[in-house]
Chains A and B, each alone.
Chain A
Amino acid sequence: MSNEREKQRHIHGSNVSRRSVLKAGVAGAATLAAPGLLIGRAHAAGEHMDLDSFMGAGIDWHMADGAQINIGVIPAGYFKNLEAVLPDFKTLTGVDARLEMIPPGQIRQKAVLDLSSKTGTYASHSADPMYYQLYVTNGWIDPLDDYLGNGKLTDNKWFDFEDIQPGHRGATSVDGRPYGIPFDGEATIQIYRKDVYDAAGIGPAETLEEYESNAAKIHDPDNRLWGCALRGFRGAGQNMYIYPSIFRSYGGEWFDGDRITVDTPEALGALEYYVKLLNNYAPKGVENWNWPDIADAFGQGTVGSYIDAHGSAAVVANPEKSKVVGKIGFARWPKGPSGKRVTSIWNWSFPINGALTDKQKQATWLFNQWAGSREVQVATSYAFPGAYKRTGANRASLWEDPKFLDLMGKFGHNYVQAATESFANDTDPDWRPRLPQWPAVGDTMATAIQSALVGQATPADALKDAQKKIDKILKT
């Protein structure tokens, strides 16, 4: 239902920007704030981005004037903030860009169907980094080095592509060529109840073993406090978000030559750890939980700790939704038996659909550049007037910006340090196996992990089964 509302809001918003075309220029920008309730609320007059800072780029922002492009994104806070500042993009470029909100469970399928049928419905979309291999294998999207290297299209002195987090740039590149502009990225960190840990005389876990013993020490279901929770729901982006980090911390390697290996002793150790941890210390029903469910439970004070994206702090530290504000501590991913801490390299990025006309491609590139620029990152983060401010800034330089760090510091104890150190030290390019068959491999693994979690199969059998299926997927 919220999607329906999203759509309505969106349609409303686009009407506004169309109307503003008629009243061109500065006057147009002023009328934007008046009729659109959404824009009026989130983006009050006088808070527009300074156009001059974009004019610093030595490119013609109006090169695709009048083009219309459609961008598919998920209805998450960070994209809603982007939507709120979108009228500025129209003013800057004359391009009519519309954001279409698509639920996270459907965006991959919608994008694949659009790309494979070459209809060009979505000029760009918030892309799952794991899908780039698939896109590139089919030639569905354009390599971006052609755009980045073209002085007419990009002024890299201004855009500074290299400032974007290296882990995220790597995750959206294939064979060294960039294919997507990262917009919002995450690090995986420990989030725990500092008051509960303090009372039990423990600190955040240094190792996975300690994470388990911490959970055991605070586990008290009779008083509605469970030791910990991790994503349990089946899906390439759900339990296969958290398991790969454990797998890599256990020293697991996805590739053995060209073969994908998922039934090695390291894999078994990792899965047994995950199953035991959740069965012993997580609330009932965790096998159907994704991160919002975990964050809600943590916010209600029923879960003592969890490991997930640093962005979920915005939920658990939100006084309107959470009862544990001010009692939260953060720490890096605990070391596994291999001594490694492994954060995800998850990010949402914008590619360019190869089925577009040249003018639309230019317009899309302008959009990608604009959304990834430092100015827009700031405008949707600490400078955003609404209550929700983005925490997944894509740029290394922002993670040194005192204003940004000031915002991040409010979430709780050690937040900034945990996140920045994770970005700097714990990112792992081999977090998940990058290959075109990822959708099938990821889903197979997700099914196996959940089967093991609910006892439909033992961890060893589940992995053996998955290995058999994956061998078949890659061979066919």
Chain B
Amino acid sequence: MASLAGGNGDLNSGEKRFAVLLTAPSLLVLLLTTTFPLAYLVWSSFQTINLAMPFLDGFAGFDNYIEMWDDSRYWHSIGLTGIYTVSSVSMQVVIGMGLALLVMQIPQGQWIFRIVAILPIVLAPVVVGLFWRTLMLAPNFGMIDFIIQWLGFEQVNWLGAPVPALISVIAIHTWQWTPFAFLVFLASLASLPTDVYEAARIDKANALQRFWYITLPLLRPAIVIVVIMRAMISLAAFAAIFAATGGGPGTATEILNLYAFKTSFIELNFGYGSALAVSLLVITMVVSGVLFRLRTARGAGGN
């Protein structure tokens, strides 16, 4: 960072102009592909745009936002989004950390685990959703059902009943993205200084103490980054749930993003759908803002 800032200061005005010229095309593309649609989204959230009733279209003020207030389906979807994000992110961190610690113990062949771990990540979420829906969770034919019945348990209708369906979509997301946490933690673990551990061993700290007082604090930046990145993605999850349950059964897995999509593209109520999407955007920004604040506050305290 410092060297970049220093370099910048050394640029003469001609070079600066050239630098602006170089970045202009990408800035323009960014502006057109992200800023403009975002502004349009916010604009339409203050409009009545309903293709089923075009004669009512016009400026709506805050009507769309006021409507959310007593829309029970909205609050239901917010609740689901919260459950989905908190449970899947915490499971990703815990399982990913456990796997990373385990693999670190293996002296040879860690690369095999790295490659295997990448596989779920590179799959398109839609494919993941369909894969779980048809091959793993389908009643009578799915692998999970087969194993459960083979073990002598009662059949569970995973995607057909409200609570199992929610558990399923959380499990699917966790399955796909735990490897990401695992890879980050594995890389961080590999870069930890060994001398601290040697000192701890001399002081006769046991494994749990070493983990709790050394590994965890040293990994904190990695953990916080994983939590921030995964939380932002989980809040806006869409494709895997869309493919696996479509938000159903009923509204049992209809997180906010799906509700916004349905309102806009199935019910054709674009004004209200935009307002729902904006509210998701605000929630995501607030959550990641708080998480970032936590990270810097801790970091400052530690230093």
Contact = CB atoms under 8 A, between A and B. Distances in A.
A287 B265 CA distance: 23
A230 to B, nearest CB: 15
B54 interface: yes
A439 B250 contact: no
B250 A234 contact: yes
Interface string B255-269: 000000010011111
Interface stretch (A57-65, A78-86, A452-460): A452-460
Interface stretch (A181-189, A397-405, A443-451): A443-451
A285 B140 contact: yes
Interface in B144-173: 155, 157, 159-162
Contacts of B265: 109
A284 B54 contact: no
A119 to B, nearest CB: 15
A440 interface: yes
A476 B60 CA distance: 11
A112 B280 CA distance: 25
Contact of A455 (B48, B159, B162, B262): B162
A450 B52 CA distance: 24
Contacts of B249: 234, 287-288, 450-451, 453-454, 456
Interface in B44-103: 48, 50-56, 67, 72-73
A473 B268 contact: no
Contacts of B55: 137
B139 interface: yes
B251 interface: yes
B140 A134 contact: no
Nearest to B48: A476
Q: How large is the interface on B (under 10, 10 to 19, 20 to 34, 35 or more residues)?
A: 20 to 34
A287 to B, nearest CB: 5
Interface in A111-168: 112, 116, 134, 137-138
A476 B250 contact: no
Contact of A476 (B53, B140, B161): B53
B160 A454 contact: yes
Interface of B: 48, 50-56, 67, 72-73, 138-140, 155, 157, 159-162, 246, 248-252, 262, 265-269
Interface of A: 109, 112, 116, 134, 137-138, 234-236, 283-288, 436-440, 443-444, 447-448, 450-457, 462, 465, 469, 473, 476
Given A285-B160, A437-B53, A234 B268 contact: no
A450 B248 contact: yes
Nearest to B141: A285
Contacts of B48: 476
Contacts of A473: 52, 267, 269
Contacts of A116: 51
Given A138-B51, A234-B249, A456-B250, A476 B157 contact: no
Contact of A284 (B140, B246, B251): B140
A456 B266 contact: no
Nearest to B55: A137
A469 B73 contact: yes
B160 A138 contact: no
Nearest to B56: A476
A78 B61 CA distance: 48
A443 B267 contact: yes
Contacts of A284: 139-140, 155, 157, 160
B246 to A, nearest CB: 7
A457 B250 CA distance: 9
Given A134-B268, A443-B267, A287 B160 contact: yes
9 contacts: A134-B268, A284-B157, A285-B159, A288-B159, A443-B266, A454-B248, A455-B162, A465-B72, A476-B67
A349 B162 CA distance: 37
A284 B140 CA distance: 8
B267 A440 contact: yes
